[in-house]
Structure 1
């Protein structure tokens, strides 16, 4: 069974007015000191480019139930720290209210801000990255080549950023639009081999613009995983679990295709970019590009095709029932983008969109409960970062 882990980025918000607060460094200082990271009874926390956001990183898991439990406890743990300084954690991929972010000062981020200027200064966006284990770089690159067309539906299912700079952007995932301003962001062409992949990364580094490319999906630089990076952070934690299950199913399906000799679809990256734009614009409320034909079809049909594509892998992993139920729920209730817009329609204030988001972010666990020793025995060593 392939292991998988999740990185979720969250906004730190003022519960009284919904404004993002630059408190990430303060929250990290509030963690329990003296506990080795690899023995921690809660997910790891990390700062990001701006102090208004916090990243929560799970351990790798082999079961969906184990991953789900840590996603819930990670949100609750981060929120328990935020509460100590009068803040809350909200799973919003962009801030509904206008904000001027405060950058995190370290050599890496200072260099990014100097080089990318306004793109970096405005990049207060929160994503959800899924890591799935692979046996080798060769297998990993073969998987990257075979999942490219299936990533926009994941973007649509996770869409959770309709507001930008204090107004409705018109997009379901405006985070995607903001993120794609980075020079190496977006879909890639076929690599064909691990050697070609690493050469492409080296060639990009040689330009002097980027060191670690922001591809939609890539090999992790630090772990034996592929990292899928197209999703907004999901408002509802159940949606995060769904995305993780679908990603693991995609990775396993792609690996089997490679091992059986099935060639990768050679559709160009520019066509894939159009599919990503449709997913960003409409989420699951409009048309998406079908991953097999690259022609527009209803989101429901495209998501059904994704579901069918990974069905065997889901069944074998024991994830099929959860995915079936979750997809039905999302098409009935909507993604985070729809829930945010409904909150604004009810209240008429963006501050109340944030307040409602805090409730949904933490709707499952009432209080943080550290993982028990029994829970820890099920974890795979070395947290995904």
Structure 2
């Protein structure tokens, strides 16, 4: 079974007024003082107002879910010591001027990318899935391209930007796509072609490590899927990870069987990215099979059907079915942020509400015998019209 892990980026915020605080260095100091026994992997990010929590590779959904919850709790305990909290918001609802992290790498990024880098206080969810070789990895990248916008829609969690409602479900995606190499790519065809393109990009002097929506990891034998917002609810993080692993497994099997990838142009995929960013699950999405608008419910059902066999074989099928139904019924993180804003009327209260959701223990969390969490909701089939 393929192993998988996640990287979650979080904001460090004032628990009273909701404003992000430049405390990553202090949180990292406290983490280091705890020694290796802390068990969690934390990293600073581009701005001092954010922090990344990285899981180890896991073979089961239950193991990954447990570390996701533990990582959030550990990071939050350190932030509390520093007088702050950790919150899973992909953008800050409140306006601020971020403080870049000072080191050689980030200093160079800010110098080169100017305002794009200085404003890039965004938090994503990156999912790594193991592959057997670069050739298999590139074959996977070529065959999952059309299925990534629905993942973005499911994870959408950034409706507010610079103190106002952006109108988008994932405004992080709009901000992220200002990077020069961000977005969907054409079919590569081979590992040699992939590495040749990466080398050519590096030779331009603009790009060091490309920000493709999905790429080969530069450090691990994995593919790295990077389209998702950090998820407000940890159960959604688990869902996205399960879907990504199933997409990778399904794509690898297609490659092994000789099935050619969909050659749809990247510019069409970019329209699907835009639709998912704009509407989340509240409007139409591009259907991955037809590349024509369809209801979000039917598109999510198509994604589910596409990876169903891989999900069942990994033991993740029941959890994914139940979690998809929950999101379709209750809404994404973006919807829940907007609901909190309507109820309370202040963006600071949106952050306070989000802090509670970031760290909640999912009801009925008892790992089942098949290695998946046993959180229970109605089947997805009941929600598809």
TM-score (norm 1): 0.93
- Asked if structure 2 preserves the Cα contact closer than 8 Å seen for 1:42 and 1:70, the reply is no
> Which of 94, 101, 104 is residue 104 of structure 1 equivalent to?
101
Task: State the secondary structure of the residue aligned to 1:155.
Answer: helix
- Asked if structure 2 preserves the Cα contact closer than 8 Å seen for 1:19 and 1:97, the reply is yes
Determine the C-alpha separation between the residues in 2 that align with 1:207 and 1:165.
32
Determine the C-alpha separation between the residues in 1 that align with 2:158 and 2:80.
24
Determine the C-alpha separation between the residues in 1 that align with 2:222 and 2:164.
37
Determine the C-alpha separation between the residues in 2 that align with 1:99 and 1:246.
34
Residue aligning to 1:197: 194
Determine the C-alpha separation between the residues in 1 that align with 2:187 and 2:353.
42
Determine the C-alpha separation between the residues in 2 that align with 1:59 and 1:188.
28
Determine the C-alpha separation between the residues in 2 that align with 1:34 and 1:300.
45
Determine the C-alpha separation between the residues in 2 that align with 1:315 and 1:42.
31
Residue aligning to 2:294: 297
> Which of 52, 58, 62 is residue 49 of structure 2 equivalent to?
52
Give the CA deviation at 1:85: 1.1
Ranked by relative contact order (alpha carbons within 8 Å, sequence separation 6 or more), the top structure is: 1
Q: Where does structure 1 lack aligned partners over 5 or more consecutive residues?
A: 367-385
Structural mapping, 1:36-115, within 5 Å = 36=36, 40-115=37-112
- Asked if structure 2 preserves the Cα contact closer than 8 Å seen for 1:237 and 1:361, the reply is yes
Determine the C-alpha separation between the residues in 1 that align with 2:112 and 2:257.
44
Give the CA deviation at 1:32: 4.8
> Which of 248, 253, 256 is residue 251 of structure 1 equivalent to?
248
Deviations 1:319-377 (CA, angstroms, capped at 9, x unpaired): 000000000100110000000000000000000000000000001189xxxxxxxxxxx
Determine the C-alpha separation between the residues in 1 that align with 2:199 and 2:127.
24
> Which of 146, 150, 170 is residue 149 of structure 1 equivalent to?
146
Runs of 4+ aligned structure 1 residues displaced above 4 Å come to: none
- Asked if structure 1 preserves the Cα contact closer than 8 Å seen for 2:124 and 2:230, the reply is yes
Structural mapping, 1:1-385, within 5 Å = 1-33=1-33, 35-36=35-36, 40-364=37-361
TM-score (norm 2): 0.93
Task: State the secondary structure of the residue aligned to 1:100.
Answer: coil
- Asked if structure 2 preserves the Cα contact closer than 8 Å seen for 1:278 and 1:289, the reply is yes
Give the CA deviation at 1:45: 0.3
Give the CA deviation at 1:33: 3.6
Q: Where does structure 2 lack aligned partners over 5 or more consecutive residues?
A: 364-385
Determine the C-alpha separation between the residues in 1 that align with 2:30 and 2:287.
47
* Distance of aligned partners of 1:17 and 1:239 in 2 relative to their CA distance in 1, 3 Å threshold: same
* Distance of aligned partners of 1:284 and 1:198 in 2 relative to their CA distance in 1, 3 Å threshold: same
- Asked if structure 1 preserves the Cα contact closer than 8 Å seen for 2:20 and 2:92, the reply is yes
- Asked if structure 1 preserves the Cα contact closer than 8 Å seen for 2:235 and 2:362, the reply is no
Give the CA deviation at 1:31: 1.4
Deviations 1:277-329 (CA, angstroms, capped at 9, x unpaired): 00000001100000010000000000000000000000000000000000010
Residue aligning to 1:380: none
Deviations 1:123-150 (CA, angstroms, capped at 9, x unpaired): 0000000000000000000000000000
